[in-house]
Structure 1
Amino acid sequence: MEDFLPAIQPTFPDARMLKSRLFHSTHLAVIETSFLTLKECACDQFHFLIPLRQAPVVRMENKLHTLKKMSVFPCNPMQPHKVEDTGITDFEAVILYVEKTLLQMVAKELFGHKNLELKNSRFVLSPELRGLICSFIQECGAKQPGCSLMLETLSVQVATLLLRESHHNLSLSSFQPHEYRDEKCIAKAIEYITDNYQSKMSLFDLADEIHYSPYHLLRLFKRHTGRTPFEFLLDLKIEKAKNMLQSTNCTMTQICDACGFSGLSYFSQTFKKKTGLSPTQFKSQCSDISNPSHFF
């Protein structure tokens, strides 16, 4: 397994940090340390400081951040920061170094973008995150068969939880889960059909409009509506024709053209197949119902 430690060692503010307890995999390093340096430092990976006892004050971009015990303070890659000299005598902390590409990959999966920027605001160390860190440390020490796979799995879980619990520039509003995006696209397809039912339309036209493949659109449309796009379009045309037959004095040819049917014969056949009546019979029936005196 490729070691992540050599990638972050050069960024340690002091070589004495190597005397701390180090646990590392390909993408994640956990350092348990009681060593506190007052030097300014920066790292080209994402890292998180978790004070376990006395919490330091960190200066970052000319702003002071007062940390709290059992909280997590995030730092972005190459973001300079410095611990202020506040006379701390009982320091103990866990520092997480997360490979930049791993956190960006998880951000892409969760939020649709990998241009992640963490906000420098602390958040509470949750029992879930603490448990994952402990499991990572234990797995590093045990070195059982399958250790590499376990550590990589835990690394992804840690990265995922860090993004769930931290504050950053990405949000769910910038990325919709597939199911929600599918619903939005089907709604857009229905809107397009409703607005253009009078025009000649193909499955490829509809697929191009919502940027889905014809096959994917067909499958999703049937799943969401119970009908194919063609069946939905045909039902819509029939409803429009029924409304015109009920409420206008238009000729059959005019109704046929207005509802987007390709010919009068096709219109009559389709209408009867869908309603059980010919357009003429349907119009006559509507006239009888709208004139109650006919029944008395």
Structure 2
Amino acid sequence: MSCNRYTLIQEKNRVIHSDARLLYLSTAKYGGDWHSLPHTHDFTELFFVIGGSGQFSIENELYPVHVGDLFVINPNVEHTETSLNAQPLEYIVLGVENLQLFLQNEQDDRFCVVHFQNHMEDLLFYLRTMQREIETKPAGYEMVCQDFLDILVIQLMRQTKFSAALIPLNRRSSHICALVRRYIDNHYKEEITLEHLAQITHVSKYHVVHIFSKEYGISPISYLAMRRIEESRQLLTTTDFSLSYIAHTLGFSSSSYFSQAFRKLEGVSPTEYRRTHKQQKAEQSSASKA
């Protein structure tokens, strides 16, 4: 009888790749009607070029890309891609949170590019399998895709000088909260829903509410209302705009809802607040003349 036993040796400081979570997989082929604009994400994107050629613009610098190239764009790095019209760029991209990839001994950890022309079949096998799972959604497809992501990252590290680093969850949560808050501050006059906030942060709306409330002690929708009320106080005291105009301008669905939200935060109605302010201003003016 012959028997062989192989014991797994757990390496110290081993990166646990399952902490990195696949957010999405998408395929794209450049066309004349596609105009990509510079943008950033708070997660890592892996672009694997499967057709055509073009350029990646990364923080205003251009880098050529060809079939078999893998571009890794780490979080918060401004980027976009362009295509050569004669050879439309085609790629598969993965969005992955909680993970950064960078090349060893490279000082620039914002992004990296690796040429995988000799290993295209291997990488395409993993990517196409993940794509098929996501498209057909059989039972357990999320787990299968996550497992294939872990295998893909390990294969990348084996075949190159890639190193991986996990992004602490608390740092990612703080970044998401700051992104939501900044978005509300810049767009509070527009219609904003939890679904929209979830879309721009790539997490569920329930997770957005949970981490935002934990970070700031207030829900995103309550913060939105507070931000609108802050602006309404300025309009009430410096203009003669009607309540309906102010409500509409600041994104409230109606003047009655505006009044309700204002009273909840300020303890008085908008009309009472305006009248009180005018009385105080008139009294101060009389006092100064006396």
Larger radius of gyration: 1
More strand by share: 2
Q: Which structure is higher in RCO with an 8 Å CA cutoff and minimum separation 6?
A: 2
TM-score by length of structure 2 reads 0.45
